Amino acid sequence: MINKKSVELFKTANTLFPGGVNSPVRAFKSVGGTPVFIKRGKGSRIWDADDNEYIDFCCSWGPLILGHANDKVIEKISETIVNGTSFGAPTELENKLAELIISNHDYLEKIRFVSSGTEAVMSAIRLARGVTGKDKIIKFDGCYHGHVDSLLVNAGSGLATFGTSSSAGVPESFANETIVLPLNDIMAVKETLKKYANKIAAIIIEPVPANNGLLLQSKEFLFCLQCLCKTYGVLLIFDEVISGFRIGFSGAAGLYGIKPDIITFGKIIGGGLPVGAYGGSSEIMSNIAPQGNVYQAGTLSGNPVAMAAGLEQLSQCLQPGFYDKINSLCKYFTDSLNEFSLSKNYPFKMFAMGSIFWMAFSTQEEINAASQIDAASMEYFKKLYHFLLEQGIYFGPSGYEVGFISAAHSQADIDEAIVKIKMGLDFVFEK
């Protein structure tokens, strides 16, 4: 594979950006080599600066559930943009997107648009603190919630209950407001709430944890979280920045039939443009300024061009059979490869939920906590990654990241990928 232009561009980028990128995982640190610079995308395919073509399973890390440059999304963006890009005043498009979401989502009465998933989570945490008058939050090891200060926190060592920051620049006093617990362990939650409930504002969880492998949780665990939250006067926040509008229109909340107090969104909601949102009942949301006293604002919030893109994308998601189609394609993809891997006795297993999948280099039947992931197995991913890149298959460049099937992926795309991944697995394990 010729990657001359990408190499040159990355060299220049390194003189301009820390690590040559504007978001860390793009730098290929965990797989090694030079990131491919993307020039163009259409449907399931992307092309890099050297004109290599790939089937894309990263899909911009999730937002592109319709694939790249969907004709109608582009049309709506174009129609809207000629009338101006931003006003800092209300527009009808905000109403339209909110109406579409609220009338089709099972658990929302009011929402607020922001510009990223991180911003949505940060605001949701402030709202929970404002509503409860309490400061501490519980998060789970293996869940990612954006780069919010108080959530860049690791579990404390040993019996220490309060977290330690996982990034320089996060004051220990902030990290101390966060308690980190293992996923899928209801006793740990119960005991923590028993001790500290009078200090805890919220429990935040990715109901389908998809940022550190795909750590599927039992419905019972999520259901018990909700019950415990009710018992102890703690708010439950579902961070559905990935799972929202992905695991069906009502996300994981809809799938599991659990109504959290606050839900956060990002990724898919903006049709590929920068949008986030958080929402819940009218009562809870009434605490947000200017109606209430929890302050939160944004110059570009509800941006009309982004609203138009989100509106078109979510409208397409609501077409009958939309989710069935991508979900069954994903199931076919992962079932086929799991069957192959089993027949060859390879330590490789794909996990899936809806149209999200994860390739684990493991023989474990289930992986539902961060501690079950073997860091050494990432060496296999690295080998497979570069083999597949050469073959024209693009994944997010880290073995801890999930992949996505979009509505633009065809049966033929999936079959092509299956053949190449099988070759890749033979290459990785038979050497």
Ligand X SMILES: *Cc1c(COP(=O)(O)O)cnc(C)c1O
Q: Decide if 212 contacts 373 (C-beta within 8 A).
A: yes
Annotated catalytic residue: which of 144, 256, 323, 394? 144
Among the residue ranges 11-19, 37-45, 115-123, 288-296, the one whose residues contact ligand X (CB under 6 A) = 115-123
239 part of the active site = yes
When the beta carbons of 270 and 424 are compared against ligand X, the nearer one is: 270
Q: How far is CA 12 from CA 16, 52, 86, 279, 386, in A?
A: 7, 20, 32, 41, 23
Of the listed 267, 278, 346, 400, which one is catalytic? 267
Minimum distance of ligand X from residue 116's CB (angstroms): 4
- Answer for which of 242, 359, 389, 414 binds ligand X (CB under 6 A) is 242
> Under the criterion CB under 6 A, does residue 145 sit at the interface with ligand X?
yes
Interface map 193-222 toward ligand X (x if CB under 6 A): -------------x----x-----------
Tell me the three-class secondary structure of 378-395, residue by residue.
HHHHHHHHHHHHHCCEEC
Tell me the three state secondary structure of residue 91.
Answer: coil
Residue 321: helix, strand or coil by DSSP? coil
Binding positions for ligand X, 259-318, rule CB under 6 A = 266, 276
Report the run of H or E that residue 48 belongs to, with start and end: strand 45-48
The CA–CA distances, whole Å, from 383 to 292, 425, 431 equal: 53, 9, 11
The only residue of 48, 239, 312, 413 in contact with ligand X, by rule CB under 6 A = 239
d(CA 279, CA 106): 12
Residue from 131, 205, 241, 308 binding ligand X (CB under 6 A): 241
Q: Does 118 bind ligand X (CB under 6 A)?
A: yes
- Considering only residues 28, 140, 144, 381, which one is a binding residue for ligand X as defined by CB under 6 A? 144
Candidate list 239, 278, 394, 400, residue with the active-site label: 239
5 is catalytic: no
94 versus 239: smaller Cβ distance to ligand X: 239
- 56 carries an active-site annotation: no
Instruction: Output 272 or 424, the one with its CB closest to ligand X.
Output: 272
C-beta of 242 vs 263, nearer to ligand X: 242
Q: Distance of CA 135 to CAs 138, 171, 197, 285, 429, Å?
A: 10, 15, 11, 18, 49
Minimum CB separation of residue 248 from ligand X in Å reads 16
334 touches ligand X by CB under 6 A: no
For residue 240, the minimal CB distance to ligand X (Å) is 7
Which among 267, 371, 26 is positioned nearest to 362, based on CA atoms? 371
Sign of the dihedral defined by the CA atoms of residues 299, 304, 309, 314, in that order: positive
Report which residue's Cβ sits closest to ligand X: 117
The answer to whether 111 touches 347, Cβ cutoff 8 Å, is no
Task: Decide if residue 404 touches ligand X (CB under 6 A).
Answer: no
Q: Which of 33, 13, 29 is nearest to 21 (CA)?
A: 13
The answer for residues whose C-beta is within 8 angstroms of residue 134's C-beta and 6 or more apart is 198, 199, 200, 201, 234
The rounded distance, in Å, linking the Cα atoms of 251 and 354 is 10
Burial grade of 110 (CB within 10 A; 0-12, 13-18, 19 or more): middle
Provide the mask over 36-75, with x wherever binding to ligand X is found by CB under 6 A and - wherever it is not. ----------------------------------------
Neighbours of 14 (CB within 10 A): 13
Instruction: Candidates 114-122, 181-189, 225-233, 307-315: pick the segment binding ligand X (CB under 6 A).
Output: 114-122
Binding residues for ligand X, rule: CB under 6 A, are 116-118, 121, 144-146, 206, 211, 239, 241-242, 266, 276
**Active site members:** 144, 239, 267
